[in-house]
Amino acid sequence: MTLTCDQLRHLQSDSPIAAWAAILSHAWEVCSAPFGAAKPESEVPRRDREVGDLDLFLATAGWDLWEHYEASVPLTTDAIANWWSSRGSGRAVLILDALSLREAPWLLAGAAARGFTVHDAHATGAELPADTTPFAKAMGFGQRSSLGANAAGLAHRLPGARTECTDIAWEDCAHFIGSEPDWVFWHHWPDKDVHDFADAGEGLRPLIAKAAEYLGGDSFWGLVNRLAEGRRLLITSDHGYAASELFPDAGADHADYLKLTYKSGRCASAGSQPAAWVPPIDLLLGTRHGSHLFVNGRRKWKSAGGYPTLTHGGLSVLEVAVPFIELSKKGGA
């Protein structure tokens, strides 16, 4: 469903909090709907392009909303910490690195098919930059690897949790989960595939195939089942990703600047001012992780080795919006 004129008027006239709520709600509605008879390999890119209407608005008429992002969006890190503190013992968080809204239909369908109760499902917002380390630091972990072998310490925002971080097979992950009442398990998928499939000729299609295989398979749900044994489970992510193969090429003058400033990335340290074009092609934002330059919207350009077909760190909706899904076994926690 493309944005209507009425929706655009509200995005332009509403408060930043209301505008961001509408943006995340619309993106969730588009991306999380059941696939039905549609084939994911064609439906996921179609939905991605539909969310592009929001990115076009944010890159042209609504770029000032990014200045209000941190103060207006329910940030995933805060949402996890609030959820954790609101519940007693019997909690688990499964962080799937770089999981985006695109993968939500498989999770929701899998939960229903396997007898789980979904208590809540919506979109929350990544840290800026939309990368792994800012998320880890905002949770008090320092870095992702800190969670390995229950080495996260006591200073993080999820007190009492046993922690683990790995990229091994799902069935092997399930063996990690013991009887401890509170768990945080951070798995490297799909981020590992996002980077592995970032080369030309790869991109979104093989990632969709892997998502269908993993999130529709018994091995992944075996891990979910173990985490939800006697616990309320939250499935979420540190950030999403951009299917940049679907982005339009920047014009020659823009491309030269973007290549010089960002190389093949979408975020850079704030060592200079953003370009002077209006609407802006990049933005300098002060975030709670420092000041950074960000590529604004859906843009790609020629770069050494070819611009990656999958990436993250810039300012587009599916880079910053992630699923926040709370579930339990029926009759369980």
Phi, psi of 87 (to 5 degrees): -115, 155
Is 129 contained in some domain? yes
Query: Which pLDDT belongs to residue 74?
Result: 98
> What pLDDT is attached to residue 305?
84
What is residue 4's predicted lDDT score, i.e. its pLDDT?
78
Q: Write out the residue range of the structural domain in which residue 94 sits.
A: 74-242+318-329
Task: List residues bridging with 300 in a β-sheet.
Answer: 249
| Model pLDDT, residue 166 | 98
Q: Is 70 exposed, middle or buried (0-12, 13-18, 19+ CB in 10 A)?
A: middle
The Cα-based distances of 29 to 22, 87, 202, 203 in angstroms read 10, 28, 27, 24
Residue 267 and residue 129 in contact, taking contact as beta carbons nearer than 8 Å: yes
Q: Is residue 25 part of a domain?
A: no
Q: Cα–Cα distance between 60 and 56 in angstroms, integer?
A: 6
- Rounded to two decimals, what is the model's pTM? 0.97
Q: Does 164 map to a domain?
A: yes
Residue-level pLDDT at 264: 96
Give the chain's domain count: 1
Residue 117 belongs to a domain = yes
State the maximum Cα–Cα separation within the chain, in Å, rounded to a whole number: 60
Per-residue pLDDT tens digits of the chain, which is 333 residues long: 567 777 877 788 889 999 999 999 999 999 999 999 999 999 999 999 999 999 999 999 999 999 999 999 999 999 999 999 999 999 999 999 999 999 999 999 999 999 999 999 999 999 999 999 999 999 999 999 999 999 999 999 999 999 999 999 999 999 999 999 999 999 999 999 999 999 988 999 999 999 999 999 999 999 999 999 999 999 999 999 999 999 999 999 999 999 999 999 999 998 889 999 999 999 999 999 999 999 999 999 999 889 999 999 999 999 999 999 999 997 666
Domain assignment present for 307: no
Which strands make up the sheet holding 116-125, listed edge to edge? Answer: 116-125, 321-329, 232-236, 91-96, 182-187, 162-166
Residue 131 included in any domain: yes
Q: What is the pLDDT of residue 13?
A: 84
Question: Alpha-carbon torsion 155, 156, 160, 165, what sign?
Answer: negative
Report yes or no on 188 lying in a domain.
yes
Whether residue 128 lies inside any domain: the answer is: yes
**Residue type at position 216:** G
